[in-house]
Amino acid sequence: MDSLSKSNSFTHLIVGGSRGIGRSLVDQSIQAGQSLSVLSRTPPVEQSSGCTWITGDAAKPEEFTDQLPEKINALTFCPGKVILGPIRRLKAEQMLEAYQTSVLDAFTLVQALLPRLDGSVVFISSVAATTGLPSHCAISAAKSGLEGFALALSADLAPKVRVNVVAPTLTPTEMGLGMVGGDKMIPLIENKHPLKIIPAVEEIAGTISFLHSDAARSITGQVLKVDSGLSKLRLNDR
């Protein structure tokens, strides 16, 4: 089965779907004809027809679970506050905020949805979870925690629910470009990657769709890095 070939009986909840990777996944899921619910703290600039859009906070599932389907075949969790800064400037409150939005909110939501989950869960991490990068202490700690949570969760929920993680490098989203200084920095950043490219949001969304699909029915407990080789490869200069 194609990674996007799902009927409208396939229910998908995307958390954090108002922009970036989440919004691209929303568009792909609508095109695939899935029965789609999207949760975000703020409504999107343009709401898409073909899905149920819910404004809410993942940390407070009691406020919106009555708007969700009784059975959820796919859950994609995209949120996570990106906090950058060298250790000498970071505050404990920032470390806690990064952990809260990446790990505790994911835990709270999954626990609340346990009776409804039946299929696949995918979390969004970062290449920074396992690659030492300057000024990434907060996000590295938070996403490392998320990956550990996902691994243990995959054992807890097997065999009924598969749990995986997608860990991209920088992607050219509004947030990502804002962190590095805009479009003008893309060539420099691409050159740091062995494949000399950075993935488009559609590529990350497509990877998530694959992990939710029947083509990945034997994959669980994995962290799939879409990082153009950044975390594993070191090439000779040429």
Q: What confidence tens digit (pLDDT) does each residue in 129-168 have?
A: 998 888 999 999 999 999 999 999 999 999 999 999 999 9
Tell me the mean pLDDT in the region 205-224.
Answer: 97
Q: 83 Cβ partners below 8 Å, 6+ apart? A: 90, 94, 95, 97, 98, 138, 139
- Superfamily assignment of 11-171+200-226 in CATH? NAD(P)-binding Rossmann-like Domain (3.40.50.720)
Across the range 30-50, mean pLDDT stands at 88
Kindly report the pTM of this predicted structure.
0.90
Taking residues 89-94, report their average pLDDT. 96
The mean pLDDT of 105-110, rounded to a whole number, is: 98
Residue 44 confidence class, pLDDT cut points 50, 70, 90: confident
pLDDT at 222 over 90: yes
pLDDT at 3 over 80: no
